[in-house]
Amino acid sequence: MLNIHRDICGYCGCCVSVCPEGALELIDAYLTVEPACTSCGICAKVCPLGALEVVHEK
């Protein structure tokens, strides 16, 4: 699953633009993830601040 570190997030929307599933949405200063997320990690890679992290469930 995708973890959003809200203390790091700059709510810029960079991640939203690259999400192939359209699973991310930026609502003003609040980033949301929808169930369509496949944990592909593209968003985590491009984030300018490193606010996103894919956590693999055990």
Partner 1 sequence: MKNKYDVLVIGGGPAGALAAKTAAEKGLSVCLVEKRPAIGAPVRCAEGIGREALAEFTDPDPRFISAEMTGAAIVAPDGFTMRLESAMAGNKVGYILDRKVFDRELVWRAADAGADVFVKTRATAPIRDGKKIAGAHLEFCGEKRTVKADVVIAADGVESKFSKWCGIDTTVPVREIMSSAQYVLTDIDIDPQATIFYLGNEVAPEGYLWIFPKGKRAANVGVGISGRKSGKGHRAKDYLDRFVKRQFPDGKAIECIVGGVSVCEPLQETVADGLLIAGDAARVVDPLTGGGIYNGMFTGRLAAEVAAKCIGNGNCSKNALMPYDAAWRASKMGRTIARNYQIKEFLIKLSDEKLNDIIHSLAKVNLKEFSTLSLIKEITKANPKLMLELGALAASLR
Which residues are at the interface with partner 1 (CB under 8 A)? 10-20, 22, 25-28, 42, 45-50
Task: Provide, rounded to whole angstroms, the least separation between the CB of residue 42 and partner 1.
Answer: 6
Task: Provide, rounded to whole angstroms, the least separation between the CB of residue 36 and partner 1.
Answer: 11
Q: Which is nearer to partner 1, 12 or 37 (CB)?
A: 12
Q: Strand, helix or coil at 14?
A: helix
Under 8 Å between Cβ of 49 and 8: yes
Cβ neighbours, 10 Å, residue 7: 6
Under 8 Å between Cβ of 25 and 35: no
Q: Which is nearer to partner 1, 1 or 22 (CB)?
A: 22
